[in-house]
Amino acid sequence: MLQGARQVGKTYIIKEFGKNEYKQTLYLNFEEDRLLNSFFTQNLSPESIVKSLEIYMDTRIIPQDTLIIMDEIQVSGGALNSLKYFHEKFPEYNIIAAGSLLGIVLMSETTFPVGQVNLVEMFPLSFLEFIEALEFDSYASLIRNLNYEAGILQPFHEKLVELLKLYYIIGGMPEAVTTYINTSQLETVRRRQHEILKTYTYDFAKHANAIDIPRLNLVWESIPKYLGKENKKFVFSKLKEGARGRDYEYSLVWLKAAGLIYFSYNVNKPQFPLKHYKESAFKVYYHDTGLLGAASNLPPKVLLEQNKLFIEFNGALVENFAAQELRVLGAEELYYWTNRQGKAEVDFLFESYPGIFPLEVKAGINLKSKSLQSYNDKYNPNLLIRSSLQNLKRDDKSLNIPLYALSQLNNFMS
């Protein structure tokens, strides 16, 4: 079962997988063809379902040779429940299910076949995937082969910084990336991003309860405002006058379940496991940095203004980018550290056995950080990690990783 926000490319990738790996695919879209649901309402016997589908789709379903794709499966509770019986009685049938708002359904679906479905999460293109899409494969190879003893030659480093700027504007949504490849026009990309943002608000109106729609819109539109502040903590009372957390908490849960946002929780005691030490304070990030820039109405022309893009908007794009890369690396939840006095804050904590490492994200090339030093004085970790526009640099216990190489964080830790 493939989860992920709308328009991250789920349908495309599972169709390509089916085309390349199977003799044939049977594509079922429960949102486009509402009649399909009728085959999953009265009888959930896999044998009966397969026979009905063969007649309806006028095709033969051959175990192992046919990939059955159930797209937008959240529309059909019966299809969702049938996966249990396929797993138990006919595991020889190969099925991929996908859904843009699957997480919303799973919040309330009590008969979900827990333990009988492999859940896979799909994200927008990472920076590495982005530069490969732009056919800079050799630069992607440079990043993958990077080791902490040697940086990247300066001309290549500068080119990767330029590509990173481009990624901040375009992001990783496949439609935005394809638009740039086809047109090379950032303004055209921006228009496409605004169209994607509109489809998300249409989903609010279509799939959320009427009472929640205004709250969802308010929370969604307020996230860039919070990220643009020096203190990026999400505060319910600042949404509007008289706003209370209990009235808007569900909106955040809905957006997270839809794959549109990531939470980062405050931790003031960095110990394993971090989730046991998270506190009530948290930050919220967009699932795509390019969409964050579009929602914030940052003009693409800022890309041409040297390094202004990295410091504009209080470094929000840089921090959001880091959150996005960490999620792709497998971090199920994100965490940051503040001291009790609230005067020191480290952007992220990175769990990598045998330790928890602080990760400070810098918008420019200045590597000084009072917060990181404060963390070091208190906890004395084996390694202090910064990520900035500087080239790779190891200095005693401090390691600076170029922002464009954050994807290699696990490799550096090992």
Interval 295-315 mean pLDDT: 71
- Per-residue pLDDT, 277: 92
Q: What is the pLDDT of residue 303?
A: 61
pLDDT in tens, 131-142: 999 999 999 999
Distance separating alpha carbons of residues 163 and 160, to the nearest angstrom: 5
Count of residues making up the chain? 414
Q: What is the pLDDT of residues 10-31, one digit of tens each?
A: 999 999 999 999 999 999 999 9
Q: Global pTM? A: 0.93
Per residue in 180-204, pLDDT (tens digit) is 999 999 999 999 999 999 999 999 9
Which is nearest to 91 in space by CA: 71, 118, 72, 112?
118
pLDDT, one tens digit per residue, over 343-395 is 899 999 988 877 899 999 988 777 778 899 999 999 999 899 999 999 999 88
Quote the CA–CA distance of 117 and 120 in Å, as a whole number. 9
Give residue limits of the domains in the chain: 2-121, 127-413
* Least confidently predicted of 109-113, 277-281, 345-349, 405-409: 109-113
- As a whole-number percent, the residues of the chain with pLDDT over 90 amount to 72
79-104 residue pLDDT tens: 999 999 999 999 999 999 998 888 88
Helix (H, G, I), strand (E, B) or coil at 95: strand
Q: What pLDDT is recorded for position 304?
A: 60
**Number of neighbouring beta carbons within 10 Å of residue 314:** 15
Comparing 148 with 164, the larger pLDDT belongs to 164
Does domain 2-121 match CATH 3.40.50.300? yes
Mean pLDDT, range 302-312, rounded to an integer: 61
Residue 243 scores a pLDDT above 90: no
